[in-house]
Amino acid sequence: MAWTIEVIEDCAVVRMNTNKVNVQNDQFFADLHGAFDRLETEFHELPVVLTGEGDVFSAGIDFQYSFDIFGSGSDDKVRQWYSAYRETNLRIFTYPRPTVAAVNGHAIAGGLITALDCDFRVAARKPATKFGLNEVPIGIPMPAAYVEIIKYTLGDQVGALTTLRGKLYPFDEAAQLGFFHEVVEPDQLLATAIGYAKCITPDCNTAYAMSKKALQDSVLRQIHERTVALDEHIAVGMSDPGNRRAQDRRRQEIMRKGPR
């Protein structure tokens, strides 16, 4: 089912619903692009709020789908996977209207990066939720393009800490690290996110878009000129024997826990 888009108080509220916990795979990518195609054609004047359902914003990459590609021995398949994944994140990151992640629950690895792609992040106060970039401890080299987005949104020090340590943080620690611009009670999440999204009136859309482009200029230059070259080595890193062992351990952990 395609992601839903509902106009609430002159804001386009996009609800991710590819699967129960919005694990990210080829269908998730297709749903994301489909939603942003609609935003650009049907709702192009409106700011955007992106959210999930229940207690999960997004649980990150689909391990079964992705680990099979990483272990395929095909550098081309790994590069194609990463190219598709990078384009989904850049689609959100460069969207010219205000974008707000209404973080309704867990946002892990690629799921947290999806939230970091947005201009603002508002989180529902749910003490049991976790947030973090745990790619490295499960054998996934962090692509250089994502590192640039992480540093842009969290700063160099927190970006390095969260990327290299790979810890999943409980809610309060995540908030202290600056993952969110504001924390609110769950029943106030959507209203607060809409408030952030409506930080300008529609007649200032061009001013916003130009300012956002200027702010992101150095990051995008890094991504398009330097990190593309760095990420040419991603396929080798993904298929490294040690990384494959770590990925297999993670797959077994998930299988023991049962379906998500």
Predicted pLDDT of residue 260: 46
- Whether residue 37 is contained in a domain is answered as yes
- β pairing state of 130-132 and 168-170: antiparallel
- Whether residue 218 is contained in a domain is answered as no
Counted domains in the chain = 1
- Whether residue 48 is contained in a domain is answered as yes
Q: Per-residue pLDDT tens for 154-181?
A: 999 999 999 999 999 999 999 999 999 9
- Whether residue 250 is contained in a domain is answered as no
- Whether residue 238 is contained in a domain is answered as no
- Whether residue 64 is contained in a domain is answered as yes
- Whether residue 243 is contained in a domain is answered as no
Look at residue 259 and tell me whether its pLDDT is greater than 50. no
Look at residue 218 and tell me whether its pLDDT is greater than 90. yes
Q: What is the CATH number of the domain that holds 70?
A: 3.90.226.10
Domain region containing 63: 4-197
Q: Per-residue pLDDT tens for 3-50?
A: 999 999 999 999 999 999 999 999 999 999 999 999 999 999 999 999
Under 8 Å between Cβ of 137 and 246? yes
This prediction's pTM: 0.93
